[in-house]
Amino acid sequence: MRKFNYPIMPEIMQRWSPRAFSEEPLAEADVLALLEAARYAPSCFNEQPWRFIVAQTQHELQAMQDLLTEQNLAWAKRAPVLLLLIAKRTFTEGGKDNYWHMFDVGTAWGYLSLEAERRGLIAHAMGGFSRKRTAEMFSLSPDLAPIAIVAIGKLGDANVLSPALREREKPGTRRPLSETVMKH
């Protein structure tokens, strides 16, 4: 059970990462609103290092599903939308390495995840996919780092999951702040 010591945004308190996706398609306006939320994240020098590739047709979904690990595919194959999050490694002005490229894309993903919750949708980011085959499939330049594939959709019936995954189908807990805040 999650324990909250302070009242915070309902979207943060209620959001978790389910695996039981419904196959029901999403409205285009919902998908675009999630990207709208993501693009308004702050970033270093307002570089906006995030890039997105959206898979929602049968053909696009199939291609992106093929990049997932077997464990993720087992549940994520039902998601009506898969979204590849990409980070641009260098600053567009000057071309120097952007130390914050991953950090900033994480912020954008955070905004997207809360907008999904607000809309009654679920979003589950996966690190388990082939970054090498992703870069090949989408002909990503070396400057573009694939980070995560996000499954987006609506919550479905947990009975579609294997017993092992059904067991894990609940909000994850967190370390207490006392183990996260370091002494000055």
Let me know: does 41 contact 111? Beta carbons within 8 Å. Answer: yes
Residue 53 touches a second copy, criterion: CB under 8 A: yes
86 contacts a second copy (rule: CB under 8 A): yes
Quote the CA–CA distance of 108 and 68 in Å, as a whole number.
22
State the number of CA atoms in the 13 A half-sphere of 118 facing the CB. 12
β partners of residue 145: 87
Q: In a 3-state reduction of DSSP, which class is residue 138?
A: coil
Q: How far is the CB of 157 from a second copy (least distance, A)?
A: 22
Residue nearer to a second copy on the CB measure, 48 or 79: 48
13 sits near a second copy (criterion: CB under 8 A): yes
55 lines the binding site for a second copy (CB under 8 A): yes
**According to the binding rule CB under 8 A, does residue 91 interact with a second copy?**
no
Question: Nearest-CA neighbor of 16 among 146, 161, 113?
Answer: 113
Binding residues for a second copy, total number by CB under 8 A: 67
Which stretch in 18-26, 55-63, 67-75, 151-159 sits in contact with a second copy by CB under 8 A?
55-63
Q: Which residues contact 26 (CB under 8 A, 6 or more apart)?
A: 56, 80, 81, 121, 152, 153, 154
Asked if 138 contacts 82 with a C-beta cutoff of 8 angstroms, the reply is: no
Minimal distance, residue 80 CB to a second copy, in Å = 15
Residue 79: phi and psi, rounded to 5, are -65, 135
- Residue 118 or 166: which CB sits closer to a second copy? 118
- Give 68 or 113: the residue with its C-beta nearer to a second copy: 113
For the chain, the residue count is 184
Answer for the pair 160, 130: CB distance below 8 angstroms, yes or no.
Answer: no
Q: Which residues of this protein are in contact with a second copy, per CB under 8 A?
A: 2, 4-9, 11-13, 15-17, 29, 32-33, 35-37, 39-42, 44-46, 48, 50-55, 60, 63, 86-87, 99-100, 102-111, 113-115, 118, 125, 127, 138, 147-148, 172, 174-175, 177, 180-184
